[in-house]
Amino acid sequence: MTDPASHRQIPVLLDCDPGHDDAVAILLALGSPQVRLLGISSCFGNCSVEDATRNIQRVLALAGHAEIPVATGAAGPLLGDAALGNYVHGASGLDGPPLPDPAADVVAEDAVGFLRRMLVESDSPVTVVVTGPMTNVGRLLRDHPEVAPRIAEVVFMGGSTERGNHTPTAEFNTYADPDALDLVLRADVPVRMVGLNLTHQALATPDVVKQMLAVPGVIGQTCAAWMGFFGDSYERLWEFSSPPVHDPCTIAALLDPDVIEWREAFVAVELDGRWTRGTTVVDLHRRYPDQSPNVRVAMRLEVDRYWDLVLAALERLSDRLAGADR
């Protein structure tokens, strides 16, 4: 007899490039009972795919969830060279506090094979969350278009309705593989975009970090230390007084429909501009009348509610670890 609550859970596949904020997104997914995390696939981005894979495994070991399957994904974009974000996240991609060694091996399939199998085996459509470059999911939909009806929606952190970060106009994830994002935008799947215009509202202020430190045990301490490293990078590179914790916003959107205000808009990604490749073009005011809205774009964050969701998940994980030690 399966747990009746499990039928109300949202089946989720997470594709990510940890990355400090990806790591918090993993903990938010693990610590939220509304989510049934089917698996995690890695992608190059904040660091090499090898380091991203290891970082996923280490975060799962930290959280006591080594049972979550992990698949290794793309080492670079569909076209061109790999842009890496070690300048933000450090040499390991997740610099800062010590983390446990991986407690389980990766699955035998690569990310595309794993994602496809998970979608085929699921008894209901799956929400695919992408918090790194879109390469794995773009390749999945290009090579296996038959799985599109099995995807409830793609929710991705990337792009922006305003300026970029990796370049003046392009956000890092969309810059890293704009061709993959273009494939997903053209596919027959619902898409929600959580761009910098939204995630720059999700600042880990000193008060937030203080609340993380109040979470008993290693979970709270580690998250607070991650915010320290991530915050130093954001202050050095972009003069932020507190770091924007981008990626968990995608998971929070699944937990509470009211935590983010959305807007339907036509979104395209620039593929050819010498200075603008990877820039998301978001038509908020129907300036292209012949282009129908194709994406729901995140516009406003209920900041206190967001952090309540994150901190509650950290508390649950901490309680579960404490229970395991008893």
171 lies in the site for ligand RIB, by CB under 6 A? yes
Integer Cα distance of 248 and 303 in angstroms: 12
> How many chain residues interact with Ca ion (CB under 5 A)?
6
Per-residue contact flags (x/-) with ligand RIB for residues 137 to 166, judged by CB under 6 A: --------------------x-------x-
17 lies in the site for ligand RIB, by CB under 6 A? yes
19 lies in the site for Ca ion, by CB under 5 A? yes
Q: Which tokens is 83 given?
A: 């842009």
The answer to whether the CB of 147 falls within 8 A of the CB of 120 is yes
Query: Considering only residues 132, 138, 178, 231, which one is a binding residue for ligand RIB as defined by CB under 6 A?
Result: 132
Q: Which does 171 bind (CB under 5 to 8 A by kind): Ca ion, ligand RIB, none?
A: ligand RIB
The answer to whether the CB of 71 falls within 8 A of the CB of 39 is yes
Q: Are strands 35-42 and 70-71 parallel, antiparallel or unpaired?
A: parallel
172 lies in the site for ligand RIB, by CB under 6 A? yes
Burial of residue 323 (number of CB atoms within 10 Å: 0-12, 13-18, 19+): exposed
| Residue at 149: amino acid letter | P
Range in contact with Ca ion (rule: CB under 5 A) among 1-9, 128-136, 162-170, 231-239: 128-136
Query: Considering only residues 15, 21, 51, 95, which one is a binding residue for ligand RIB as defined by CB under 6 A?
Result: 21
Query: Considering only residues 11, 20, 22, 54, which one is a binding residue for Ca ion as defined by CB under 5 A?
Result: 22
Residue among 64, 63, 39 at smallest CA distance from 53:
39
Q: Catalytic residue positions?
A: 246
Q: Where are the alpha helices (DSSP H) in the chain?
A: 4-8, 20-30, 49-63, 86-89, 111-121, 135-143, 172-176, 178-186, 196-199, 206-213, 218-238, 248-255, 303-325
Query: Considering only residues 132, 133, 159, 243, which one is a binding residue for Ca ion as defined by CB under 5 A?
Result: 132
133 lies in the site for Ca ion, by CB under 5 A? no
Q: Which is nearer to ligand RIB, 21 or 315 (CB)?
A: 21
Integer Cα distance of 24 and 21 in angstroms: 5
Query: Considering only residues 12, 13, 14, 19, which one is a binding residue for ligand RIB as defined by CB under 6 A?
Result: 19
Sign of CA dihedral 45, 46, 50, 52: negative
Query: Considering only residues 46, 92, 197, 242, which one is a binding residue for ligand RIB as defined by CB under 6 A?
Result: 46
The minimum distance between CB 20 and ligand RIB, in angstroms, equals: 7
Q: Which is nearer to Ca ion, 182 or 247 (CB)?
A: 247
The minimum distance between CB 144 and ligand RIB, in angstroms, equals: 24
Compute, in degrees rounded to 10, the torsion defined by CA atoms 227, 233, 236, 237. -130
Q: Which does 211 bind (CB under 5 to 8 A by kind): ligand RIB, Ca ion, none?
A: none
The answer to whether the CB of 175 falls within 8 A of the CB of 280 is no
Integer Cα distance of 108 and 22 in angstroms: 23
Which residues in this chain contact ligand RIB in the complex, by CB under 6 A?
Answer: 17, 19, 21-22, 45-46, 85, 131-132, 157, 165, 171-173, 246-247
Which stretches of the chain bind Ca ion, using CB under 5 A? 17, 19, 22, 131-132, 247
